Structure 1
Amino acid sequence: MTHVRLLFLAALIAAGAAGTEASAQDRRPYGGGTPGSMSQGEARERAREERQISSSEALSIARQRAGRARYVGALPPRGNSYVFRFEDDDGRIFDISVDARSGRAGGG
C-alpha cells in the first residue's frame, strides 16, 4: 500500500509542476499575442524610445561637440534635452543640448 501512495504522490507532484510550467509560458509581457497587444518587436521599439541616456553620457556627447571649449555648467533640462553651457577661447558662451532619447547634440 505504501508503494501505491508514493506513486500517487509522485504523479500529483509531476502534474503540478507541468501545470506551473504551462501557466508561466502563458504570462508573456504585453499580453503575449492576444488581440490588440504589442508584438515583441513593437515592445522592444517602445522600450528603446522610452530609454534615456544619463546626464553624464549626455555631457560626454556635449564635450565632444564643444571641442576645446571649457565646460561652464548645466542648465535645467528643456523638454527631453539636457543642456550644457560652454565657453570658447574667445570668451563666447554657448549652449549645447543633447536629446535624452537619441543622444543627438545640437547647438554650439
Structure 2
Amino acid sequence: DSKTAVFQIDGEDSAHNGIEVILTADRRAFISPDQFEVLNIDLFSRDIVVVKLGYLFPELRDIAPRSIMALSPGVSNEDIENLPFNRVRRPIYPLDRDFVWSPSRYALR
C-alpha cells in the first residue's frame, strides 16, 4: 500500500547490514505474518524481528521463540508509574510505595 515503506539499512560492517525498517503513514499494528508477506518480508528467514506493540498477538507469539517487552512512551503506555495522574487521591499503589496500607481498613464488612 502507498502509505507503507520498507527501508533497507546498510551499516559500515556486516553486523549492521540487512536491517529493514517498515514505516507506515497511519497507525497500524503488525499482528500477523501475512502483513509482512505482502511486503515481501519472510519472518522465518530473519534472526530478529522487532515490532512496536504493547501486546504480542497470538499469530506472532506462535512463531516467536521468545519475546522481550520494551516500555516506551506512545499512544499507550504500560509504564503507569510514570504517567501524569492528576485526579487521583494520593497515596495510591502502585504509583506511591512509601506508605503503610492496611487492607482491613478498606475491606467491606
| TM-score normalized by the length of structure 1 | 0.21
The structure, 1 or 2, with the larger RCO (C-alpha pairs under 8 Å, 6+ apart) is 1
* Greater per-residue strand proportion: 1
* Greater per-residue helix proportion: 1
| TM-score normalized by the length of structure 2 | 0.21
